[in-house]
A and B are shown apart, each in its own frame.
Chain A
Amino acid sequence: MTDAAMKSQVELATTWFLAARTMAVADGNVPKVKEAAAGLYARAILELPEEVCVAAKNQQNIGSLRVEDCLAAVRTLPRPLGEKIMTGVMMIAYANREMHPLEVRWASMLASAIELSEEDFQRCCVGARVIATMLNPSSEDAD
């Protein structure tokens, strides 16, 4: 992989992990358990290699970034990637089968930054539900 390609992939991975973290903590329950779904999503759906995912979570890379950096980054993404980020974030929101007001706000901010129409958002939402079931079977027996 060239340096430029690596840089571009690390930027995408950073945007993803920042968006996913924000959704994962938005309901106030910090996930203490292993949350491998976010990483599997990055590897499988965003097609990011292992070293890129590791580099993205390096403190010097992600440590000082904020929610607004994430929003700025998703605005620059090509549309299909933006939709994949939205789908993945909704997948995380579905994990505990309820949505806290701040989770709704974060999803709304992302949808607005990506400029998703209502129909696009609904498509992401349904895709997220399908993937959440595949990655986190426990969400099906959470009741």
Chain B
Amino acid sequence: MASRNFGFMERYDQRVSRLADQAERYVYTDPESCLFKLRLMVETMARTLIELQAPQLVDSDLSTMLRALERSQLLSRKHADQMHAIRRDGNSAVHGDPTPSPTAMRRLHDAHRLSGWYCRTVKRGAKVELHAFEPPPRAKDSLKNKAQWAKGEALETSIEEQRRRTREALLLFGEDEDIDAIAGTLIEELRGWDDIAIAAGEPLIDAEFVALVMAMDIEKLLEHPRFGVPSQEAHAQAEAQFDLVRGELEAKEAAYRTQRRNLAQDQAEDA
């Protein structure tokens, strides 16, 4: 029987539809396989989109393809976040991390959110009728199963909230901000200041120097007789500082994986 959540995709992309269908079937019985199928689904989607947008990147890894799609603005922030979540959790599953079913269910829901947009993108003008996501039915729950599911849900909610804050801290604009309106206000004000500065004869930065630095190969800059040493120092210092932050972000992800693994193991022992 065709999946209620993903059956509609059959008309647009049979391979993606089949992967989503398989993921849905595994969500309770084998959450790792569910995530593996979802990751493959997202990779297939990304490859199809990159063939339209930047075919030279078609053999790149998933992360590179997603970044290219974001830069080309084909992929919105929201869809990119959903695809990255599936990529990340799918990678964990591939590497053997036990996964609680609620984690797989959250990513399945993300895949459903992506599916309508994806079909509309690959078949421009298509009228895609997307039903609300319905968790696939499962055998009647015991009280114990319900409690375990609730624990998994609580963990996922907490991880999503922490990831949201991390993302919010890193972005230039908040998720709920009207970027166009803010940009319009800032540009209007800047134009006003520009007019005043021109009238007052205010000096400008040395744009020729800026252009020169911009055009130089980074290797040449690092070897430059005048700028070389400060550049190398700035490079080394900045690299160390960025490594610290990246280390902190990786440690957080590692902690999420540990929490999920512990929960999945507890549940396996209880079963």
Cα A40 to Cα B71 in complex, Å, equals: 18
| Contact of A73 with B by CB under 8 A | no
**A99/B210 in contact, CB under 8 A:** yes
A138 — which chain B residues lie within 8 A by C-beta? 67, 71
What is the 8 Å Cβ interface bit string for chain A, positions 119-143, against chain B (1 contact, 0 not)?
A: 0011101110111011100101000
- Select one of A22, A112, A123 contacting B190, CB under 8 A: A22
**B186/A22 in contact, CB under 8 A:** yes
**B169/A39 in contact, CB under 8 A:** yes
Scoring A40, A47, A93, A111 by chain B CB atoms within 10 A of each residue's CB, the highest score goes to A40
| Contact of B165 with A by CB under 8 A | yes
**A44/B170 in contact, CB under 8 A:** no
Scoring A39, A51, A135 by chain B CB atoms within 10 A of each residue's CB, the highest score goes to A39
**B169/A32 in contact, CB under 8 A:** no
A2 — which chain B residues lie within 8 A by C-beta? none
Cα A130 to Cα B218 in complex, Å, equals: 7
| Contact of B158 with A by CB under 8 A | no
| Contact of A108 with B by CB under 8 A | yes
Known: A20-B172, A43-B245, A44-B242. A108 touches B187 (CB 8 A): no
**B80/A112 in contact, CB under 8 A:** no
Q: Number of A interface residues, CB 8 Å?
A: 64
Secondary structure type dominating chain A contacts: helix
Cα A44 to Cα B182 in complex, Å, equals: 26
**A67/B190 in contact, CB under 8 A:** yes
- Select one of B67, B172, B214, B227 contacting A35, CB under 8 A: B172
What is the 8 Å Cβ interface bit string for chain B, positions 208-249, against chain A (1 contact, 0 not)?
A: 011101101010011000010011001100110110110000
Cα A28 to Cα B194 in complex, Å, equals: 15
A122 — which chain B residues lie within 8 A by C-beta? 206, 209, 227
Write the residues of chain B forming the contact surface with A, with a CB cutoff of 8 angstroms: 67, 70-71, 73, 76-77, 80, 165-166, 168-174, 176-177, 179-180, 182-183, 185-187, 189-191, 193-194, 197, 202-207, 209-211, 213-214, 216, 218, 221-222, 227, 230-231, 234-235, 238-239, 241-242, 244-245
